[in-house]
Structure 1
Amino acid sequence: MIKWINTQFWGIVARLILRNRIIILLLIAAMTVFLGMQWKNMRFSYTEANLLPDNHPVNVEYIKFLNIFGEEGNLIILAVKDSAVFTPENFNAWNRLSKQFNAKPEVASVISTENLKKLIKDEENQRFDLENLVTGEVATQAEVDEIKNELFKNLPFYKSLLFNDEGTIRTAVYLDKEIVNTIVRKDFIYDEVLPIIAAFEKETGLDLRVSGMPYIRTLNSQNIVDEISLFIGAALFITSLIFFFFFRSFRATFISMVVVIIGVMWAFGILGLLHYEITVLTALIPPLIIVIGIPNCIFFINKYQQEIKKHGNQAKSLQRVISKIGNATLMTNVTTAAGFATFIITKSKLLKEFGIVASINIIAIFILSLLIIPIIYSYMSLPKEKHLNHLNKRWIGGFVNWMEQTVRNHRKGVYIASASLLILSIIGICQIRISGSLIEDMPQRADFFQDIRFFEEEFDGIMPLEILVDTKRKNGVLKLPTLKRMDQLEQLIVDTPELSQPMSIVSLAKYSRQAYFGGLPKNYTLPASNENAIISTYVAKSKSDVNLLTSFVDSTGRYARITTFMKDIGTDKMERIEQELRTKIDSTFKDKYDVTLTGKALVFLKGTKYLVDNLIMSLSLAIFLISLFMAYLFRSFRMILISLVPNLLPLLITAGMMGFLGVPIKPSTILVFSIAFGISVDDTIHFLAKYRQELQSNNWKIRKSVYAALRETGVSMFYTSIVLFFGFSVFMISSFGGTVALGGLVSATLLFAMLANLLLLPSLLLSLERSIANKRVLKEPNFRIFPEKKKKEKKSLFGLKKNVDASQEEE
């Protein structure tokens, strides 16, 4: 049955395609229109990618925190580090800026010098009142100096939130939590925030720094959107240029571009059909389809031109293109799709969606290549002689001769070089690190990234780290023992240079004591036991708007949060800080409280580590699946081992390069290995399949078969590898560090894989010929990727019987 599929099925497919050309083209057009209509369902991601599954303990804790306190990432920070801001004109402009933001419906609240409140003791009514620091516009420099002195020297409650010791002043803009993860946020940033900032800078000449997760996420997402068109354009240009260089034919280049452009349209349509968001990963799929689709076009068009050069019969040539190259290309596309499809088994939504869409589109681009190329050529005249000249290029012959001579005479050199690279790679792998940074992959040349670094330097970071304290009883947060425990934990945060000044209910308790004892800064401490009762009485009698930090305690008084911000540091440091905080929490709160660490910074760190575990699992599955395929194809365990060596070695070399170059394992670079393995194994399949055929044709003469397979497949492998190398190199023009690393590493891996398959694989076959390459070991295959040579009667596309000579059937 399997042999019938191999010999008869593809002949039937060829006849169906070429006898129903109009219908097939109409079906492709209809499918393209249908998928084009799905573009309206495409959505761009407005949240950070959550790399953890929903039921992961860290995710469960984070969702619990959000359910209690709402979205944490709703803060936009504006800052100026320039003494010129403290002049009457500029200071008034600074205060007007905050008024402008406060008037916007998308803004929940603004804290700045313009509306800053001082806590004042009302001894007569035994309560606290609020007094404005600034009343109206200032007229003189003396007024500005007085306000500055009061803020910087007497209001430690606002330190880190609104100012620092170096003279930098800030304004905190809190967005409405309901819009933070919607398109409204994007519209607000671009239509309101950016124009207001530009107008302020033009009016004052001051350099206004802006940061905060809503602002960063919006600009970063827009960069992703902008780069999609850049990647698609660059991929089309570079691949078409290389294609034309190889084939020197405008129409061959045009046909290949038609195929991949339709493939890109389908890719967007499938994203919309599945209602998946466009993320930093799914944005890579359209250019990936171009890069992977062009090698398909090379195989089909190269075979068509070879057949035309051989006998000049167009009908026969097109039928052989489909029946022979269709079978081989299907196998290689299946293995490539399998490399991507392994991400589907992960529990990470981000990777799962990427794996589903990528694997579907790889099969789709194969189907498009199989259908469109033969049909379009069937309507065209035969290629001219000049379009076939590339088949006889001297430099290609020289390259093939170099490969053959190296395998024939320098196998020891090949093994020594491979072993040396392996040893160096192992050394490099030992130096590789894991990155859990939220901002490492962001475009470092962008202005907003420079602002991130500014806030890290001035205020110790922008990545939120939250500590949720559950006192297990109503109003338990307001008890003095709870406040003291929280204060002890906050002291550790203050002493940790990678963390910013914490904010919590503890700060308000200290400010209350300062206000009660005359507003002197030295009294900014927690109340003593004998002071707490009377100060609590003052707080209870105060107006509701005195509670400046109500967002740090829930409505029942059971839960409290401590918010700090973390610098962009390495995973090792983050884990050390996490361990120190957990140790302090265990010793301070013991079993009386439930205290959890959470926040975007921690979730992203855990997500990155989770992906590393999934990388090992998905890569192992890819190796297993492809091994099964090789076993089914060749029915030889030894051949499986030999076929894996030239594909695993490039992966180890790439991992070693990452260690030496300081490229960390992170969500973007984690894809390198599965992608590269799924693509590079295609060359192995092509070579071994041709080698298997040559063994039978040459009466199991090993050396002759190896050299014949090398000459036959070397050119196509070289062509496709060059296209893939430069195609993936397109990603290196990205402004995202992770995308640059992905492009460079996959390109390097595929280049090493080409050399391994052209030099190491045939060397292994020759060196181990007695143990692997004989009839007992290399049995009759289940699939023949390249059909056997034989003589039979065929019918042409136009109903004419042709006696096809065996030599013309040859691949």
Structure 2
Amino acid sequence: MTYQTTRVKLSYDLQKSVPTSAEEYIDYEKFKSVFGDEGNMMLVAVKSDQFWDFNFFSDWVKLNNDVRNIKNVTNVLSPSSSVNLVKNSGLERFDMVNIFDPPPKNQQELDSLKQVFMRLPFYEYRLYQPDSSVYLMLISLDRDVLSSIRRITVVDEILQQTTQFEKKYNLELHYSGLPYIRYFQLTTISAEIKMFLILAVIVTILVLFILFRSWIAVVFPLLIIGSGVVISMGLMSLMGYKVSLLTGLIPSLLIVIGIPNSVYMLNKYHVDFKRHGNKIKALTSIIERIGYATFFTNLTTAIGFGVFTFTGVEMLKEFGIITFISISATYLISLIGLPVIFSYLPKPKERDTNHLDDKIFRYIIDKLITWTMHNRRAIFISATVIVIASIIGLFKIKAEGFFLQDVSEKSKVYKDLVFYENNFNGIIPLEIMVAKKQIHETIYDTIISEKIPLSEEDSIITYDTLIVNRRESSGISITSISTLEKLNALQDTLASYPQFSHSLSIIDAMKFARQAYYNGSPRFYELPTQSNLTSNDSRAAAFLKNSQQKSLSENRFIDPTGSITRITVQMEDIGSDSMPELIAELRPKIDSIFNPEAYDVSLTGTGIVSLAGYNYLIKSLIGSVVLALILIAIIMGLQFRSGKVLVLTLLPNLIPLMFTAAIMGYFNIELKPSTVLIFSVAFGIAVDFSIHFMAKYRIELVRHSFNVKETVLVALRETGVSMLYTYIILFFGFIIFAFSEFEGTKNLGILTSITLTIALLTNLLLLPSIIMYFDKNLEATHRKKYQKGKGNYADLINENNKESKN
């Protein structure tokens, strides 16, 4: 397993949060099979009034060239590398000419070339924002490196060049695009995995040493947990899983979750050894007594994670499988390894067991006992108030996801996204794929050559260019004039929405070509309609057909069969609530332009898939939480064999979940996959307190002749300290995640710590109070069962009687 940990790889792909059977996933895969992955563009923007100053522009040209020379950068497009189409009448084609090549030698030349650039509407709002002096550099990366570690190196090399430019002019460049966003996520995940692992180890060492005041009680539990971490990473490698934002948390989580096993076992070992001084007997009792309780506590914790296996979402399944197996393996290693190791070590000295008499913890336990014995009414009233307030808070929870939902609003990547939204209406890709069905319909078509003979079906509409009303000969061609007009109409519709940037399609290439044919006059940057089509427009189409640029544009915007085209647009991060509403509003307008009987129009892209994935995740996770609650309740029911005890035990563990949900509602913390995770994970951990308390309570109930009050006191005194120890480790173990750059991870740490705090209080105050409130009924029931020698604890009674004699 140790060797396998060296083969674990980081996941460089966007996590698939949508089931493969989902319509959104199918549409996106179909789009990629036709046009490839659209997420290979990195954006760099500069806002400066001196952009067109000669020195500044010259350095921008140099930056452009330096970036283009980086390996795996396939193309760079910015104002300084923009091209113009120039009519070549001799060859009847358009030539692509770089506007600023050769570079201008002085300000006068630059001003002259600037005028040429500014007369090209094609670049307006695509390479620059005329209203705010913002200029873009679009950097295309080789798609083959997007799924490898090379993508990090490429972006690093780009940032090295841009950082020098920033320093020279003392300004800030703004970065975005999927390669940059993924770069930020990957580098942050990689750094945080190391940081959290180190912090988890440091916190564990400090807490264990402070609690037990012995290096033996620190080193060996850490070695045992370390083996569990190695198993988890080795499993990831063996099963072909890669490290993601979620699975990257597993090593730290295992340290935090696995250590309580050692705490309970060491505490039990020290308590029993202090009682009778027999080391082997004390170690044996770990397996006999604590082993039973820790089996159920680890099972409930493992289930809290394992239920994610049934979500149908790949990244959650991987997380659920690895954590379930790893927690189970860590438990077995602890149960076997700890007694074996300590059996070879010397007997505990007096100073090793002094922690059992720690004044601070004893004071806390005594206070809790006092409140439980004398302030039950106040405890019940407080619990009722919390429940009522929590129910109110539950109705305030909002469930909405965003493309950058886990990224802190204080981070540069988020601030830059807002910058692009303010200046270019966003950067999240939305693709509209239009496929023409193979049917026969009567359409308007253009015949370039006047020598084509007319058939009996043709009717002449205009004599400027011969246009006939004829059945389409190609059957599925997407470039007929009627289809092009529809594409243009759809782009005009998109332009009316402030959520969208300026769209791009084959239409824009045709408009550019038409402007070039008319010697660069901006007023000809438009698509001619059937009513105003001229012979010059037909010749412009012929020029484009003869140009290399025509094939280039078709490769990007039209599939090889000529039956499918695309409209590319970027959009704002409007959220999972607004996205379906926007699509629902667009769909009727699209259908009014493209007859569904003649065209298949699908909306896809990273934005749609990502936000659809959020909805799938939320539904899956809520189902997982419910499943976890049911399974854990069943397990506790099998353990306690009493419906009443089960209900009384579950109540103190449901209140913390309600309290945490209320905090989310009151503080506007949205329901996200990362926050939904908290409920099943925290519940699985929180019930451990109840299981340990109730296990001790059941044993001591027999020993104390079913005196509930006295039994509760004994159970609190012995398990209370272990529960406090465990809570401290868990609290500080989870709170380290609050230092994450990702809001989701941060919320996971803070809210889980809060949940565990409330769970500790409810299990140390509310649970004993509930038991004592129902003491008469419980005592009578137990007395009746045990006096007859029947029920589930007959063997336990006999064992306890023998132990008492010994």
Q: Would you say same fold, with TM above 0.5?
A: yes
- Write the distance in 1 (CA, Å) between the matches of 2:268 and 2:38: 59
Distance 1:582 1:782, change over 3 A: farther
Match of 1:584 among 572, 586, 589: 589
User: Is the deviation greater in 641-650 or in 575-584?
Assistant: 575-584
**Corresponding position of 2:492:** 491
Partner SS state of residue 278, structure 1: coil
- Write the distance in 1 (CA, Å) between the matches of 2:762 and 2:533: 75
Distance 1:763 1:441, change over 3 A: same
Task: Indicate conservation of the 8 Å contact 1:328/1:785, yes or no.
Answer: no
- Write the distance in 1 (CA, Å) between the matches of 2:124 and 2:107: 23
- Over the matched positions of the two proteins, sequence identity in percent amounts to 38
For residues 447-477 of structure 1, the C-alpha deviation after alignment (integer angstroms, 9 at most, x for no partner) is 4444333323222222212111112256633
Matches within 5 A, 1:660-671: 660-671=666-677
Match of 2:20 among 43, 54, 72: 54
For residues 660-691 of structure 1, the C-alpha deviation after alignment (integer angstroms, 9 at most, x for no partner) is 22221223222111100111111111222222
Partner SS state of residue 97, structure 2: strand
Letter of the 2:40 counterpart: N
The alpha-carbon deviation at position 208 of structure 1 amounts to 3.2
The alpha-carbon deviation at position 58 of structure 1 amounts to 1.1
Partner SS state of residue 685, structure 1: helix
The alpha-carbon deviation at position 150 of structure 1 amounts to 3.1
Matches within 5 A, 1:148-227: 148-152=114-118, 154-165=119-130, 166-190=132-156, 192-202=157-167, 205-227=170-192
Indicate yes or no: 2:542 matched with 1:540: yes
Indicate yes or no: 2:717 matched with 1:711: yes
Distance 1:407 1:785, change over 3 A: farther
Task: Indicate conservation of the 8 Å contact 2:70/2:154, yes or no.
Answer: no
Task: Indicate conservation of the 8 Å contact 1:437/1:601, yes or no.
Answer: no
The alpha-carbon deviation at position 575 of structure 1 amounts to 3.0
- Write the distance in 2 (CA, Å) between the matches of 1:784 and 1:753: 32
User: Is the deviation greater in 176-185 or in 605-614?
Assistant: 176-185
Matches within 5 A, 1:501-540: 501-532=502-533, 534=535, 535-540=537-542
User: Is the deviation greater in 448-457 or in 615-624?
Assistant: 448-457
**Corresponding position of 1:403:** 368
**Corresponding position of 2:767:** 761
The alpha-carbon deviation at position 54 of structure 1 amounts to 1.3
**Corresponding position of 2:477:** 476
Partner SS state of residue 478, structure 1: coil
Distance 1:131 1:496, change over 3 A: same
Partner SS state of residue 434, structure 2: strand
Distance 1:52 1:454, change over 3 A: same
Number of equivalences = 760
**Corresponding position of 1:438:** 403
The alpha-carbon deviation at position 282 of structure 1 amounts to 0.3
Task: Indicate conservation of the 8 Å contact 2:166/2:173, yes or no.
Answer: yes
Partner SS state of residue 502, structure 1: coil
Matches within 5 A, 1:209-608: 209-442=174-407, 444-473=409-438, 476-532=477-533, 534=535, 535-542=537-544, 543-547=546-550, 549-550=553-554, 551-591=556-596, 592-608=598-614
For residues 677-707 of structure 1, the C-alpha deviation after alignment (integer angstroms, 9 at most, x for no partner) is 1111111112222222233333333333333
Letter of the 1:376 counterpart: I
Partner SS state of residue 175, structure 2: strand
Distance 1:452 1:437, change over 3 A: same
Partner SS state of residue 562, structure 1: strand
Task: Indicate conservation of the 8 Å contact 1:99/1:114, yes or no.
Answer: no
- Write the distance in 2 (CA, Å) between the matches of 1:139 and 1:159: 25
- Write the distance in 2 (CA, Å) between the matches of 1:773 and 1:491: 78
The alpha-carbon deviation at position 276 of structure 1 amounts to 0.7
User: Is the deviation greater in 778-787 or in 92-101?
Assistant: 778-787
Matches within 5 A, 1:6-155: 35-122=1-88, 127-152=93-118, 154-155=119-120
- Write the distance in 2 (CA, Å) between the matches of 1:731 and 1:181: 27
The alpha-carbon deviation at position 155 of structure 1 amounts to 1.4
The alpha-carbon deviation at position 428 of structure 1 amounts to 2.1
Task: Indicate conservation of the 8 Å contact 2:94/2:547, yes or no.
Answer: no
Partner SS state of residue 603, structure 2: strand
- Write the distance in 2 (CA, Å) between the matches of 1:553 and 1:639: 68
- Write the distance in 1 (CA, Å) between the matches of 2:795 and 2:530: 84
For residues 368-398 of structure 1, the C-alpha deviation after alignment (integer angstroms, 9 at most, x for no partner) is 2223322332222222222222211233222
For residues 223-277 of structure 1, the C-alpha deviation after alignment (integer angstroms, 9 at most, x for no partner) is 1011111001111111221222221222212222222223222222222222211
Letter of the 2:121 counterpart: P
Task: Indicate conservation of the 8 Å contact 2:622/2:676, yes or no.
Answer: no
The alpha-carbon deviation at position 659 of structure 1 amounts to 1.5
Partner SS state of residue 48, structure 1: coil
User: Is the deviation greater in 463-472 or in 762-771?
Assistant: 762-771
User: Is the deviation greater in 81-90 or in 213-222?
Assistant: 81-90
The alpha-carbon deviation at position 292 of structure 1 amounts to 0.7
- Write the distance in 1 (CA, Å) between the matches of 2:489 and 2:767: 63
User: Is the deviation greater in 275-284 or in 647-656?
Assistant: 647-656
- Write the distance in 2 (CA, Å) between the matches of 1:54 and 1:373: 44
Task: Indicate conservation of the 8 Å contact 1:436/1:608, yes or no.
Answer: yes
Task: Indicate conservation of the 8 Å contact 1:434/1:609, yes or no.
Answer: no
For residues 728-770 of structure 1, the C-alpha deviation after alignment (integer angstroms, 9 at most, x for no partner) is 0010111111110110011111111111122222222233345
Task: Indicate conservation of the 8 Å contact 1:498/1:567, yes or no.
Answer: yes
Task: Indicate conservation of the 8 Å contact 1:238/1:727, yes or no.
Answer: yes
TM-score, with length taken from structure 1: 0.89
User: Is the deviation greater in 538-547 or in 305-314?
Assistant: 538-547
**Corresponding position of 1:790:** 800
Distance 1:409 1:785, change over 3 A: farther
Task: Indicate conservation of the 8 Å contact 1:633/1:781, yes or no.
Answer: no
Task: Indicate conservation of the 8 Å contact 1:509/1:527, yes or no.
Answer: no
The alpha-carbon deviation at position 712 of structure 1 amounts to 2.9
Which consecutive unaligned segments of at least 5 residues does structure 1 have?
1-34, 793-804
Partner SS state of residue 608, structure 1: helix
- Write the distance in 2 (CA, Å) between the matches of 1:388 and 1:526: 87
Distance 1:444 1:538, change over 3 A: same
Task: Indicate conservation of the 8 Å contact 1:267/1:361, yes or no.
Answer: yes
